[in-house]
Amino acid sequence: MLFRSGKEDYLKLICEIDLLTKELAKRQLDTSLQFEAPYKKASDNTKKASLYFSLGLCAILIIFALFYENFGNLYFNLFFIFLVICLGLLFWHYLITLKEQNKIKALWDNEFKIDEEITKKIKEKKYKAASSALNIIVFSENYEILMNIKDKTLRKEKYQKLFFEYVDALDYLNSNKTTYEDYLAYYSMWEANNIYQ
């Protein structure tokens, strides 16, 4: 007889993991659709504005260097002032596009933080599910041995020793790279093999 203590908790955790994983996938798709194209557009606009500003600055410096001797001429001075004002407008445009890009990035980062929180919850639930699955296996396979120990402290020590033996065995099978998914897959395989006993 298999004693399946904690089976309901395990199934509840697996269901919660599935729901959170679906929620995370939907959020990531929505976030990507919402922010990726506008961020790329804002980034491209910022690059263009930076290029225009740089070219304008170079043009003013070249004009100033080439026509330095005409600096006292009124028309040249007006033209030069016009170029400096245009350069100022290009710089102002650059700052506006940079601000827009940073605004979109900040909103995207906030959404990413929410996604990280969901990912953290998924990892916690996977850890609990893996632990619960291994608890079910250890207790089911060693039920008689554990129940023959009358002292609760000794029973608990024996259980912990058996639990870590299973952990070590799974680590050995997976070259010390056992993941939550490995524990859950092992439980599914174990359950399929022991369902009719």
Residues 43-55: pLDDT tens digits? Answer: 999 999 999 889 8
pLDDT band at 195 (very low <50, low <70, confident <90, very high): low
Q: State the burial class of residue 125 (Cβ atoms within 10 Å of its Cβ: 0-12, 13-18, 19+).
A: buried
pLDDT higher than threshold 90 for residue 26: yes
Residue-wise burial string across 153-172, b where 16 or more C-beta atoms lie within 10 A, e elsewhere: eeeeebbeebbeebbeebee
Contact (CB, 8 A) for 56 and 90: yes
In order, the DSSP letters of 161-190 are HHHHHHHHHHHHHTTT---HHHHHHHHHHH
Q: pLDDT tens digits, residue range 106-156?
A: 999 999 999 999 999 999 999 999 888 888 888 888 888 888 888 888 888
What is the spatial distance between Cα 125 and Cα 15, in angstroms, rounded to a whole number? 10
Residue 163 CA to chain centroid, in angstroms? 32
With tokens 């041995």, the residue in question is: 145
**pLDDT (0 to 100) of residue 83:** 83
Distance (Å, rounded) from C-alpha 149 to C-alpha 167? 22
Return the structure tokens found at 152. 């609760």
Mean pLDDT, to the nearest integer, of 96-104?
93
Give 3-state DSSP helix, strand, coil % of the chain, rounded to 5.
Answer: 90, 0, 10
pLDDT band at residue 2 under the 50/70/90 scheme = very low
Determine the average pLDDT of the residues in 95-113: 93
pLDDT of residue 24: 93
Question: Is-above-0.95 flag for pTM?
Answer: no
Cα 14 from Cα 113, distance rounded (Å) = 24
Contact status, residue 24 vs residue 119, Cβ threshold 8 Å: yes
What does the alpha-carbon distance between residue 119 and residue 2 come to, in Å, rounded to a whole number?
A: 34
Alpha-carbon distance of 5 to 138, in angstroms, equals 10
